[in-house]
A and B are shown apart, each in its own frame.
Chain A
Amino acid sequence: MKRYWIVAQHEFVTQLKRKSFLFMAFVFPIFIAGLSLFTGYLSARQEEQTGSLGQIGIVDQSGVLAGEQDKPAEYITFADEESAASALRDGRIGAYFVLPPDYPSTGVVNAYSHDVIPTGIENQLQAYIETNLLTHWPPATAARLRQPAEISMGTLDGRIHVDERTGIVMILTPIVFAILFIMSISMTSSYMMQNIVEEKETRMVEMITTSITPLELLWGKLIGLSALGVLQILSWSLVGGVALLIQQDIAVTLANINYPLWLLALAILYLLLGYLLYGSLLSGIGVSSSSMQEAQPIAGLFSLVAVIPLFVLMQFLENPNGGWPVFLSLLPFTSSAAMMIRLVLGQVPLWQVYLSLGILAASVVLIVWLAAWVFRVGLLLTGQRLTPRTLFRAMRQGRDYPQMVVSPGRQGGQS
């Protein structure tokens, strides 16, 4: 078995057993999801509380509600305001609404109550008035009046075709992507750097480097810890998904949309590569800094760089194929987030997608190589004063690792 693979397995299994990981990956998202479901349930109940004020009085001076189409059961019609007011004073009704004679032109409805009127009761009134306003139209036209246009977008070549609801979900993609991206980077940053700094602190470096090369060590750690990060994101997504789907209305909406699978596939690919890129960068920081305190702020800066495209979103909205958007979607540090925004905004030339993926993958390989080099040079400089000469020498020697510069000597010794 390849040695980096042994390192990867070891790191994955060891970190997986840590309580802090188990908590962050499984307990924490379930807690957050439960909390948001609970608050969602509370506000939904608030909206459904149509009967909380008991009977509701209606004084219609405008004549709009004359047909009393779909009148809610708790509504009582009063002829004038005085009788409604006395009913409110007597406690027979909890509130009453007055539609003044000029309502059709102003849209103003007066409400009277001893209590706050819940959103649910307000919504009920809106629906009641709307239904009665639209009684003169055929049902199909009434429905159109309620929602005049559902916009369906497409590109000229017919490659992308989305309806409005799908479009909204698509627009959400880069935002969800960015959140997952930042989360994964900040999580890995702690794993990756802590792990490498620990490796130095346990004084195992000499034993390890006589077993495997720095390159194998760093690849192994990157693969193992990235797998761990992926597991954590999967767990969070799964919990988040379940939390969304058990809310019936959202589940119905999601079932009806036609989400493009290619976008999902690209999102996963960009997330993974972007994640590896930052993992390799952080490993580089880990090998070149002596403590976590030193390394942490730099890691924080990196997660900001990753979402620069979100800060310059206006540039993207104006012209997704403009100079800056194209540049940011090719630059490896920002390409993941930038390309996701461009992909949902419009047509991206295919070669740019391939190119940005290629640059991203090549950057990962290059940065891991550089980190291993820094690691090796750091070892070679052990005990040496840092002068330009020693540094240059160590850099040259470290680069040709694992080949040796020493030529074979004479055979045999003196004994």
Chain B
Amino acid sequence: MNSLVVNNVYKNFGATQAVADLSFSVTAGEIFALLGPNGAGKTTMIRMVLDILRPDEGTIQVLDSTINQAVKDRIGYLPEERGLYKNLTVLDCLSYLGQLKGMTMSDARRRAAVLLQRVELGDVMTKKVNQLSRGMQQKAQFAATILHDPELIIIDEPFSGLDPVNTLLIKEMLLEMKQQGKTIIMSTHMMHQVEAMADRLLMVNKGQKVLYGPVANIRQQYADHALYISGEGNWSALPFVERVTFDETEHADLVVLRQGMSSDEAFRLLAQQPNLHLNRFEVALPSLDDIFIEVVEGKRPFNHKSANGKAGVS
């Protein structure tokens, strides 16, 4: 079952092509990452999903329907532009937003209080919004986004402006919601933040799809040319190795393979070497940042030159 199906959507702003022929779907219950650099068309895409903007061409289906008011009530949306009513108390503000999503006032207040406790704003919920720090306001707005217990949560740049502690808190809450069966769409240019969380991703650049599929598959696919190796011996002299550097965090040598060499092949060849003793052999998975750079700029991860740009898996 899909929570979102986007088919051949185009959107131009004057001469600028914001989104071009974008098609993707989001499966119910998954965390879906919409990735790309600033200005890639992520926010435009989200705004079209929510009917704030209209596509020039193409179709969008949200929760098995074209978007309407009833569907919007089942969506929680945290826009990129952050803001709450400054002169209201945090609790009043959330209660109002909850009621606008169809909650009764008592329900909205009760759940707002619980959620504000959860995001560690319990002590300040009777304070006015403009007395809160920016990070606090952002957490309050996150609470407002999920107040009405939406099935589909769409968050634009969820972690921007948050410190590491609060980033972790929001991550935990998002993962909890996934456990409860909610669908989450996150849009961000900070790709490393979603590496560990997202099930699948869509990477866009200049409005076009560059990568699409399960995160693990994509990383695997871009991983067959570097290895983490530790043990005894000198691998830098081997003919299929381009270069070797020591990776501090992994406590292992990062061995970049020559063009055309796969990790399976390298494993076989290494095993045949009589003078080598291996403690560890691991395929080095590139980060999404690395993959993005490879796909967009034509550079391979680990600074390996390659003309061989991979197409995304579907």
Report A's interface with B, CB cutoff 8 A: 1, 3, 6-7, 10, 14, 18, 202-204, 206-213, 379-380, 382-385, 387, 390, 397, 402, 404-415
CB distance from B33 to the nearest CB of A (A): 14
Q: Would you call B7 and A409 a contact (CB within 8 A)?
A: yes
What is the bound-complex CA distance between A390 and B54, given in angstroms?
12
Q: Would you call B14 and A390 a contact (CB within 8 A)?
A: yes
Q: Would you call A409 and B13 a contact (CB within 8 A)?
A: no
CB distance from B17 to the nearest CB of A (A): 13
CB distance from A215 to the nearest CB of B (A): 11
Residues of B within 8 A of A206 (CB): 47, 50, 52, 77, 79, 81
What is the bound-complex CA distance between A178 and B44, given in angstroms?
49
What does DSSP make chain A's interface, helix, strand, loop or mixed? loop
| 6 closest A-B pairs by CB | A413-B25, A409-B59, A203-B83, A385-B14, A211-B100, A206-B79
What is the bound-complex CA distance between A384 and B50, given in angstroms?
18
Q: Would you call B2 and A414 a contact (CB within 8 A)?
A: no
Residue from the list A3, A207, A213 in contact with B79, Cβ < 8 A: A207
Can you list 7 A-B contacts with CB-CB less than 8 angstroms, sorted by A residue number?
A14-B87, A202-B86, A404-B67, A410-B7, A411-B61, A413-B5, A413-B27
Residues of B within 8 A of A414 (CB): 23-25, 212, 314
Q: Would you call B100 and A208 a contact (CB within 8 A)?
A: yes
Residues of B within 8 A of A379 (CB): 52-53
CB distance from A404 to the nearest CB of B (A): 5
Question: Number of residues in B with C-beta < 8 Å to the partner?
Answer: 53
Residue from the list B25, B77, B99, B212 in contact with A412, Cβ < 8 A: B25
Residue from the list B23, B54, B72, B81 in contact with A210, Cβ < 8 A: B72
Residues of A within 8 A of B68 (CB): 402, 404
**Is B69 positioned at the interface, with any CB of A under 8 Å from its CB?**
yes
What is the bound-complex CA distance between A18 and B128, given in angstroms?
13
What is the bound-complex CA distance between A211 and B108, given in angstroms?
14
Residue from the list A1, A202, A380, A407 in contact with B59, Cβ < 8 A: A407
Other A-B pairs beyond A6-B100, A10-B96, 9, CB < 8 Å: A1-B99, A203-B83, A204-B83, A211-B73, A379-B52, A380-B53, A382-B52, A384-B13, A413-B5
Given the interface pairs A210-B72, A385-B14, A414-B25, the reply to whether A404 lies near B66 with Cβ below 8 Å is yes
Q: Would you call B314 and A204 a contact (CB within 8 A)?
A: no
B207-240: CB near A (< 8 Å → 1, else 0) gives 0000011000000000000000000000000000
Residues of A within 8 A of B212 (CB): 414
